[in-house]
Structure 1
Amino acid sequence: MSKERLTAFTDAVLAIIMTILVLELNKPEAMTWAAVWELRESFFAYTVSFFWLGTMWVNMHRAWHNVEKINNELVWNALILLFFSSFFPYTTSLVADNFDNPVAQTMYGVVVLLVTACNIWMYVELNRLNNGQSVEDGFSILDGRGMIDVVLKVLGLILTLTVFPSAMMWAVLITAIFIVLPRSI
């Protein structure tokens, strides 16, 4: 399989997942500003998930820019990554409807960590196959900042399970703002 075919497939599936996210947004019970404001946690969960998926897409394209070779392992990695990513609309809607619920936040966090693990696996395999040439401009989830990203997400999950139910969503937002976006821009 060519690199172009795999990236086109990944693009298409991620676009569908991101579209489904917006379809999962709740509508206000009445068309008043107060009713819209009541949905703030739903809009927050949607925004975090949308931009998390969007930055993942941007970073994948950046990492794949110099890729010359792919193998069957990368194809399966992409399929597994997309499988776990496809749970984002579902877990985002759970969090949107139950923002301070540790079970909803944990389910969201598990999906985030599984997708993160697939991303790490992908970067390792890309670097191995392409003699370290797959990563452009020193960008890598495998560097120190990438590991801080993972640690913050795990910490968010631990806090969600123990003392601060909404910590997972906040951990994803913090990693996006302070680690992922600055590297992507």
Structure 2
Amino acid sequence: MEKNRLEAFSDGVLAIIITIMVLELKVPHGDDLAALVPLWPVYVSYVLSFIYVGIYWNNHHHMLHAAHRVNGSVLWANLHLLFWLSLLPFTTGWMGENHFGRWPTVLYGINLLLCALAYVVLQMVLVNYHGKQSPLARALGSDIKGKISPVLYLAGCALAALDYPHIGAIFFGIVALIWLVPDQRMERLALAAREQREE
């Protein structure tokens, strides 16, 4: 089946997630810059989550561009990913409002971990559907970043649970930095597919 509806639905959900997160930002009482200072955890958590949603949108776009078709399993795997991503506004808000407190930061890290695992499941389902020798499967390769990320999430959650939430949040930021550069494997595959269609 065609993938257009899946892409459109996913884009819409991700746009709503960002909208919900930005609506959680409260306007401070006061007209000077000092009024913003107490709100720094809220803004920092928003920026971090915005970057994560952007990373997922970017990589999701490239991966689906490399996929030629979808089936029911892909649709459910995609919904599974969107479910965990849709919880980001809640965990982001809780962590920001509580100034990166211990348990809010742990829950935020768990949410990020579950998003990452759901993305891996979506990759696996797409590869299974397209075949182990498909261009998509070859482009994914060993996926070093995908294997490092859950380890860093778990380390961040452990540090936060041990009452070092700010250090745990730094680990979450490191994962975001790792993924900030778009996945070159998928970009190359998407470019090759586009060139092939134009010939």
User: How does the TM-score come out when normalised to structure 1?
Assistant: 0.90
Secondary structure of the residue that 1:68 maps to in structure 2? coil
How far does residue 139 in structure 1 lie from its aligned partner after superposition?
5.1
Could you tell me which amino acid in structure 1 is paired with residue 171 of structure 2?
Answer: A
What is the CA RMSD across the aligned residues, in angstroms? 1.8
Give 1:51's aligned residue: 51
How far does residue 184 in structure 1 lie from its aligned partner after superposition?
3.9
- The answer (yes or no) to whether the contact 2:24–2:93 under 8 Å persists in 1 is yes
Say if 2:179 is the partner of 1:180: yes
Counterpart CA distance in 2 for 1:100 and 1:67 is 38
Give 2:135's aligned residue: 133
Counterpart CA distance in 2 for 1:65 and 1:183 is 14
- CA deviation digits over 1:162-185, x for unaligned, max 9? 1412334322211111x2012447
Counterpart CA distance in 2 for 1:24 and 1:103 is 20
Secondary structure of the residue that 2:66 maps to in structure 1? coil
How far does residue 152 in structure 1 lie from its aligned partner after superposition?
0.7
User: In structure 2, do the counterparts of structure 1 residues 49 and 57 end up closer, same or farther at CA, with 3 Å as the change threshold?
Assistant: same
Count of matched residue positions in the alignment of Structure 1 and Structure 2: 182
Which ranges of structure 1 fall in alignment gaps of 5 or more residues?
Answer: none
How far does residue 105 in structure 1 lie from its aligned partner after superposition?
0.8
Higher Rg: 2
- The answer (yes or no) to whether the contact 1:66–1:135 under 8 Å persists in 2 is no
Secondary structure of the residue that 1:19 maps to in structure 2? helix
User: In structure 2, do the counterparts of structure 1 residues 184 and 43 end up closer, same or farther at CA, with 3 Å as the change threshold?
Assistant: farther
Say if 2:16 is the partner of 1:29: no
Say if 2:89 is the partner of 1:114: no
How far does residue 134 in structure 1 lie from its aligned partner after superposition?
2.6
Output aligned runs, 1:35-74, within 5 Å. 35-74=35-74
Output aligned runs, 1:121-160, within 5 Å. 121-131=121-131, 132-134=134-136, 138=139, 143-160=143-160
User: In structure 2, do the counterparts of structure 1 residues 34 and 139 end up closer, same or farther at CA, with 3 Å as the change threshold?
Assistant: farther
- The answer (yes or no) to whether the contact 2:95–2:104 under 8 Å persists in 1 is yes
Give 1:100's aligned residue: 100
Which has the larger share of helix? Answer: 2
User: How does the TM-score come out when normalised to structure 2?
Assistant: 0.84
- The answer (yes or no) to whether the contact 2:101–2:165 under 8 Å persists in 1 is yes
Give 1:20's aligned residue: 20
